[in-house]
Amino acid sequence: MPSNGTTMNGSSSCPLVNGASSNPLQVYTIAANNITASFIPYGARLISLMVPDREGKMQDVIVGYDDPQDYVKDTLTNHTYFGCIVGRYANRIRNGTFVLDGTTYNTPKNELNKTQTLHGGSVGYDQRNWTVTALSNSSITFTLFDSGYEHFPGDVINHVTFSVSSSYGLKSSNPQAEFTARTVSLSLTEKTPIMLSPHIYWNLNAFKNETVLEDTLLQLPLSSRYVEVDSRLIPTGHIGNVSSSPNGTLDFTKEKFVGKDIKSADGICGANCTGYDNCFIIDRPNNVSDWTSSPQTMAPAVNMSSVATGINMLVTTNQQAIQIYSCNGQNGTIPVKGSQVARNKASGDGNGTVVDKIEQYGCLVIETEGWIDGINNPDWGQDPFQIFSPESGPAINWATYVFSAS
C-alpha cells in the first residue's frame, strides 16, 4: 500500500567489492544456464528474473520497471515495494508501537492515515542504498548497516545474498533453474525485533493474460491455519483454520486457481477489499523422512504454475509463515515493463491482445516471513524467531524458488 517517505537514503559504510559502483541505481546481473536475474542496490531490489517457458522461450516473471529511476519515482507515488527487501520489520506493527523488556518503542506510522507501521517505517530498507559487498557470475551480496533506523532499538548489520543455479544442459529428465534469496541479520548492540522479507511481485504468465485469476494455480500445502486480521490488516490475536474461511476461500492446501474462490474473499484483505492479503502459517509435519519438524527447517511452502506459459515455481523456506497478496490494489495505472510488452508482441502471445497495464489481480506477492506483528502477540510464542540480541544467533530468512516448465 502507498506510504510517504524520502528516497535514496542511508548508504551503509561497508566497503564496495571490486568492480561495484556507489550508484544505487546501477544494474547488476547474475546468471546460470537458462536463468538470469538483475538487481539494483536501491532496496537490494530484484528487477528482472528470466526463466524458460514450456517452449523454451525466456520470460521475465517479475513485476517492476525497466528504468531503475522509476523505482525512486514509485516510492514517492504508488510505493508498491516492487522487488525489494523490506525491514527492519516486515509487514505491519499495530499502532506503530511495541514493548520490549518493559520499554515502549514507537516506530513511524506510515500507513492508513498514519495509524500503524508498514514494512519498517517511513524510510524502510526498501529505500536504503545497500552496498554491493560480494559479486560473482552467479551470486551477489548486498549489505546494509542499520544504526537505529526508524526508532528501532540498537544497531543491526544486514546481508542479503541472491544466487542462481541450473540443471539445464545437464543429463536431467526434469531440468530446473533455481533462484535463492538469503538474508542474514545480526543485532550488534541491543535486543531488537528483526524480520526481513523479499517483497517480490510474481507473474508466471508474463502478462500474457490480464490477471492471474484463471491462469495461475496456487497451492500452500502446509498452510491449514492463518492469522486472522481486522479491517486494518492488524492481527486480532486469533488463529483461524483455512477450511473455516468463507466458502473455503483461504484453503489452498490443495491446488486451485487463484480466482476460484476469490469472490468469497470480501473483507478478508481489509476494509472494502476483495482478494488476498493474508498471512498463512507454515505447519511443518512430524516424522517426515527427508526433513525434520524443526521449526526452521526448509519446507515446501508454495507451489505455483501458469497455464499460459507452463512455468512452475516451488518455493521452500525456513520461515514460519508466508504472506500472499493478490495485487488487489492495482488498477491499471502502472504500466507493464516495456520489455515484457515487446516480448509478447514479438511472439504473438495474448490471443491478439497485448497487456500493457498492471490490472487488479494482475500479479501475486509472496513474502516469506514470520507470524505478522508477532512482537505484539507474545502468547503466540514467536519471540525466538523475531527478537534478537548480541548474545543470540542471527536472524536468517532463507528462500529458494525452483523453476521448471511443463
- Residues annotated catalytic, as ranges: 199, 367
Length of the chain measured in residues: 406
Give the separation between CA 388 and CA 331, rounded to whole angstroms: 39
Long-range contacts at 53-57 (CB < 8 A, ≥ 24 apart): 53/206, 53/309, 53/310, 53/311, 53/405, 54/309, 54/310, 54/311, 54/405, 54/406, 55/310, 56/405, 57/347
Residue 84 C-alpha cell reads as: 525489494
- What are the angstrom distances between the C-alpha of 79 and each of 1, 23, 113, 122, 123? 7, 21, 15, 11, 11
Among residues 304, 332, 310, 303, the alpha carbon closest in space to that of 208 is found at 310
Q: What's the rounded Cα separation, in Å, for the pair 223 and 282? A: 5
